[in-house]
Amino acid sequence: MKRNTKKYRSHCPINFAQETFGDKWSLLIIRDLMFKGKKYYGEFLNSDEKISTNILADRLEKLEVDGLLTKARDKENNSKNIYALTQKGVDLLPMLLEMIAWSAKYDNKTGTPAEFIRRLTEDKDSLIRELIAGLGSLKT
């Protein structure tokens, strides 16, 4: 596995987060893994925002190096790789939920279903547990 020897502009936590997943695409890949059950390269490639294939390959590698996801050969289809979130990746869930709540409040065309927002505001902890359960067992 590649070593992560990155130098940070600062160790401010906001900056650390920004440098880890603050580019134009990383969080969308994590979203696909976290909320949409995607796990294959081709699935990420087909998301609505149309990431280009070289950028996808680059971001998957960066996220792997930074320990947010793992890559492994698919047992059932030996020509595919399976990507999965690590605990470090799953731990972004609370932040992503706050992000979703904010966007739902301020984007008047938000794609977030009203029922999701309701659970998010009224019942956040059980929503988190349910989402994590849906991710199955994690890889380190």
Interface pick for a copy of itself out of 43, 57, 112, 135 (rule CB under 8 A): 112
Q: H or E segment at 82? A: strand 81-85
Interface mask toward DNA for 20-59; x: CB under 7 A: ---xxx--------------xxx-------xxxxxx-xx-
Residues within window 94-113 making contact with DNA, judged by CB under 7 A: none
Q: What is d(CA 32, CA 28) in angstroms, rounded to the nearest whole number?
A: 6
Q: Are 40 and 80 in contact (CB under 8 A)?
A: yes
What is the nearest approach in angstroms of a copy of itself to the Cβ of residue 75?
29
What is the nearest approach in angstroms of a copy of itself to the Cβ of residue 11?
4
Give the up-direction half-sphere exposure of residue 90: CA atoms within 13 A in the CB hemisphere.
19
Identify the burial level of 86 via C-beta atoms within 10 angstroms of its C-beta, where 0-12 means exposed, 13-18 middle and 19 or more buried.
middle
What is the nearest approach in angstroms of DNA to the Cβ of residue 6?
11
Which is nearer to DNA, 36 or 80 (by Cβ)?
80
Q: Which does 77 bind (CB under 5 to 8 A by kind): a copy of itself, DNA, none?
A: DNA
79 contacts DNA (rule: CB under 7 A): yes
What is the nearest approach in angstroms of DNA to the Cβ of residue 107?
20
Q: Are 84 and 139 in contact (CB under 8 A)?
A: yes
Q: How many other CB atoms are found less than 10 A from the CB of residue 66?
A: 18
